[in-house]
């Protein structure tokens, strides 16, 4: 599907445009703690996953902070709000073309980064999925118990503010620090995995996350925002020289931005949302993507020195010893 660029003004977005803003991310999904093995978990040894380099793959959706306005204010102690951009949430008057009067309005926060792979240890995402595979598992992934991909979301923030005039001017905008609320997206997903050949395995994920805040409020406490969603299928191809080719295809919404990252820092796919904010169109139309041959290759030398162990079969991705780390 060709990419269509339409620059809707935030102030005129429809009510449901609010967004599936799923959530930012504050606790990443899968840990890559070294020296994880079935023996360490009391399950006995397993030569398939013990002492093998890990290939970690992450696909996620994030809202660049440049999409929002930087608000100069003093956030509550220990909170990350100063590093976020803020976008106005559409209102019922907006959806029928009636300007909203001066006074309190609601705003949602961006993620704390602006590009793919940025801030890999602490960067947040609205919705993301992570999986791990060892080189020797390629071709025998069918023996993996549990889901290959986990589905995660980070915290979303919503705040009330005061707009001095209808056209958004950050210098004339102030957040009400007492009104900030946070929540995680209502998320779900389906992960599958199998083998295609003796040296080829595939894994897929279908994931979606709904905006966690009630939008219309009393007397209609519902959230009409469409969900952020994506689907991805990945093939891992192991070669005799130790190299691994990763081929992928899928679809995602046209908002927000998306990324596919291997080994925490190898960006294999990046999509930059052209629109300034979410709306009914870009959260309900799809962008298709597909790798070309040789686009994403992991050289054997890149795997040297990687964390060893892997996620033990029988333990679904998520919580190996050591706790979650991004």
Which pLDDT score is estimated for 22? Answer: 37
* Whether residue 256 has a cis bond before it, omega within 30° of 0: yes
- Map 7-23 to HEC letters: CCCHHHCCHHHHCCCCC
Q: Backbone phi, then psi, for 205, in 5-degree steps? A: -145, 135
Phi-psi region of 173 (alpha: psi -120 to 50; beta: other; left: phi over 0): beta
Of 48, 36, 63, 50, residue with least CA distance to 228: 63
66-112, pLDDT tens digit by residue? 998 776 655 556 566 667 888 877 655 444 444 444 445 677 889 99
268-313, pLDDT tens digit by residue? 999 999 998 888 889 999 999 999 988 999 999 988 655 544 443 3
How big is the CA angle at 53 (ends 47 and 54), to the nearest 5 degrees?
105
Which pLDDT score is estimated for 52? Answer: 77
Which pLDDT score is estimated for 292? Answer: 92
Of 71, 106, 72, 102, residue with least CA distance to 88: 106
Q: H or E element: which one contains 57?
A: strand 54-62
Tell me which residues of the chain have a pLDDT lower than 50.
1-49, 93-103, 164-167, 171, 218, 308-326
- The model carries a pTM of 0.75
Which pLDDT score is estimated for 320? Answer: 34
Which pLDDT score is estimated for 151? Answer: 96
């Amino acid at each position: 599907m060709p990419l269509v660029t339409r620059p809707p003004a935030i102030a005129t977005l429809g009510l449901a445009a609010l967004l599936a803003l799923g959530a930012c991310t504050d606790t990443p999904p899968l840990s890559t703690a070294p020296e994880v093995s079935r023996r360490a978990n009391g399950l006995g040894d397993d030569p398939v996953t013990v002492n093998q380099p890990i290939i970690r793959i992450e696909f996620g959706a994030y809202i660049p902070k440049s999409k929002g306005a930087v608000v100069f204010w003093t956030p509550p102690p220990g909170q990350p709000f100063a590093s976020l951009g803020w976008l106005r949430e559409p209102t019922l008057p907006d959806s029928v073309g009636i300007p909203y009067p001066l006074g309190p309005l609601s705003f949602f926060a961006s993620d704390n980064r602006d590009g793919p792979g940025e801030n890999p240890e602490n960067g947040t995402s609205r919705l993301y999925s992570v999986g791990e595979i060892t080189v020797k598992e390629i071709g025998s992934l069918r023996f993996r118990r549990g889901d290959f991909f986990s589905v995660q979301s980070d915290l979303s923030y919503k705040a009330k503010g005061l707009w001095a005039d209808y056209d958004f001017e950050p210098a004339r905008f102030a957040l009400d620090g007492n009104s900030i609320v946070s929540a995680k997206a209502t998320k779900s997903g389906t992960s599958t995995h199998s083998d295609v050949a003796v040296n080829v395995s595939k894994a897929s994920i279908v994931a979606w996350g709904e905006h966690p805040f009630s939008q219309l409020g009393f007397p209609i406490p519902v959230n009409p925002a469409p969900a952020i969603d994506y689907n991805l299928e990945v093939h891992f191809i192991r070669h005799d020289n130790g190299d691994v080719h990763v081929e992928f295809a899928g679809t995602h919404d046209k908002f927000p931005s998306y990324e596919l990252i291997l080994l925490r820092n190898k960006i294999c796919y990046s999509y930059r949302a052209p629109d300034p904010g979410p709306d009914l169109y870009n959260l309900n139309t799809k962008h298709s993507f597909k790798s070309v041959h040789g686009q994403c290759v992991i050289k054997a030398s890149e795997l040297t020195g990687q964390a060893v162990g892997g996620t033990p079969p029988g333990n679904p991705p998520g919580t190996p010893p050591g706790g979650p780390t991004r």
